[in-house]
């Protein structure tokens, strides 16, 4: 069965290094918490708010061993007034038998405000 594994993070300031470090940290946490095997990943969507312009966050995914052939797409997040600034969101489409309630979505830094209902869920 295909499941969506969500994650999001923010960067303090615009810059390629900060964007790649934050994205790498987010992807790493998503992989660890969900025991993700890249051979079972169908695709990854990564969006960024319009204020992230220095680099493609998806470049961080290529740093992970065995993720070379996983299809990834970057896109711009909707520019909604009052929306979270400098935010990177990830959706991993994963083939797993894990139940929906047992998927571990990961929200870091200021992005924890996006889904406070998922914090400290057991």
Marked catalytic residue, from 25, 40, 54, 115 = 115
Marked catalytic residue, from 6, 18, 25, 40 = 6
40 is catalytic: no
| Nearest in space to 64 (alpha carbons), one of 26, 109, 17, 19 | 26
| Nearest in space to 26 (alpha carbons), one of 54, 3, 7 | 7
43 and 74 in contact (C-beta within 8 Å)?
no
3 is catalytic: no
86 is catalytic: no
87 is catalytic: no
Structure tokens, 107: 């929200």
51 and 86 in contact (C-beta within 8 Å)?
yes
Marked catalytic residue, from 86, 87, 89, 94 = 89
Marked catalytic residue, from 12, 14, 63, 77 = 77
52 and 10 in contact (C-beta within 8 Å)?
no
Marked catalytic residue, from 62, 63, 85, 121 = 62
Q: Which residues are catalytic?
A: 6, 62, 74, 77, 89, 107, 115
């Amino acid at each position: 069965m295909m499941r969506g594994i969500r994650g999001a993070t923010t960067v303090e300031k615009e810059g390629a290094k900060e964007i790649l470090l934050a994205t790498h940290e987010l992807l790493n946490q998503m992989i660890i918490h969900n025991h993700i095997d890249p051979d079972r990943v169908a695709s990854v969507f990564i969006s960024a708010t319009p204020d992230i312009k220095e680099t493609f966050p998806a470049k961080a995914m290529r740093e992970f061993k065995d993720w070379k052939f996983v299809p990834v797409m970057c896109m711009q997040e909707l520019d909604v007034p009052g929306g979270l600034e400098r935010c990177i969101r990830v959706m991993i489409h994963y083939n797993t038998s894990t139940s929906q309630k047992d998927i571990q979505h990961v929200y870091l830094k200021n992005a924890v405000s996006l889904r406070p209902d998922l914090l400290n869920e057991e």
